[in-house]
Amino acid sequence: MNAVAAPIERLEAVLSQMMDVACAVSGGVDSLTLATLAHRRFPGRATMFHAVSPAVPAEATRRTQALAEREGWRLEIIDAGEFLNGQYRANPSNRCYFCKTSLYGAIRPATTAQIVSGTNLDDLGEYRPGLEAAKEHDVRHPFVEAGIDKATVRSIARALDLDDVAELPSAPCLSSRIETGIGIDPDMLACVHEAEQLAAATLAPRTVRCRVRAGGVVIELDAGTLDRIGGGDDELATKIATIFRTRGFERAVSFAPYRVGSAFLHPVKFVRT
């Protein structure tokens, strides 16, 4: 606890500057940790908002609801409506801008509180067009303001006795698996999720991503797992191809090393259209 006492104090100091907070909770380690600390340290001043969507795995919603019940949060389940936005569905390189615009636009009418996100310092070094949407909606990022990175977020989660949350792997939304320029389709996202679950159950990898590319479906795995299966698994590839075929997507399946954000092509300077 001593090692994280200072970061927790800084985080509490940032939150104490706000009267009430509306915490956008995706179901990942960052937002769950922020929401828990905000609720415990400032009871009655925090409301959590979780958006359900074809791009959000059901287990993320169940995890959020379970923690909310355990901790006694005020939790609002909302539909951000991003799939009503044709610009989001077109999947440009700044797709996340349209997603976050929908999310924050859905939260704002429901509360007068300060909207906060689980963005941490490490996120600032990545291509994150959603941060522009956050800026436009006056969203604050307490972890960033307190100088806290991802590793420290996990340490804070452990200090809060959220050991299960602390060990959660990074899990961007399912739309991040679709290559830039390929339209976002709810049925395709369902295929992606089912394929990842099957690969996880079959191979027990440290990391798995199902990427949909113009040239086919690529199952990305951590190096150790990929080496263990000799670079591929024909039986698993056939099963995954069937998952996509049954929903009308005829795609070849291959395997490759995991690369962060590899479905994003040609990131460009943010442009609002």
Tell me, what's the pLDDT at 58? Answer: 94
Count of other CB atoms within 10 angstroms of residue 44: 8
Q: What average pLDDT score do residues 151-164 get? A: 97
d(CA 254, CA 231): 9
Amino acid code (one letter) for 12: E
Tell me, what's the pLDDT at 192? Answer: 98
pLDDT at 1 over 60: no
Share of the chain above pLDDT 90, in %: 89
pLDDT at 271 over 70: no
The domains found in the chain, sorted by start residue, are 2-166 (3.40.50.620), 174-257 (3.30.70.2210)
Greatest distance between any 2 Cα atoms in the chain: 56
Q: What average pLDDT score do residues 210-222 get? A: 96
Answer whether 25's CB lies under 8 Å from 46's CB.
no
pLDDT at 272 over 60: no
Q: How far are the Cα atoms of 36, 91, 158, 237 from residue 27, in angstroms, in the given order?
A: 12, 23, 16, 29
Give per-residue pLDDT as tens, 36-93. 999 999 989 999 999 999 999 999 999 999 999 999 999 999 999 999 999 999 999 9
* Full-model pTM: 0.91
Q: What average pLDDT score do residues 241-268 get? A: 88
Count of other CB atoms within 10 angstroms of residue 218: 22
pLDDT at 266 over 60: no
The pLDDT confidence band at residue 264, using thresholds 50, 70 and 90, is: confident
Tokens at 245, concatenated: 């075929």
Task: Kindly report the average pLDDT of the chain as a whole number.
Answer: 94
Tell me, what's the pLDDT at 112? Answer: 96
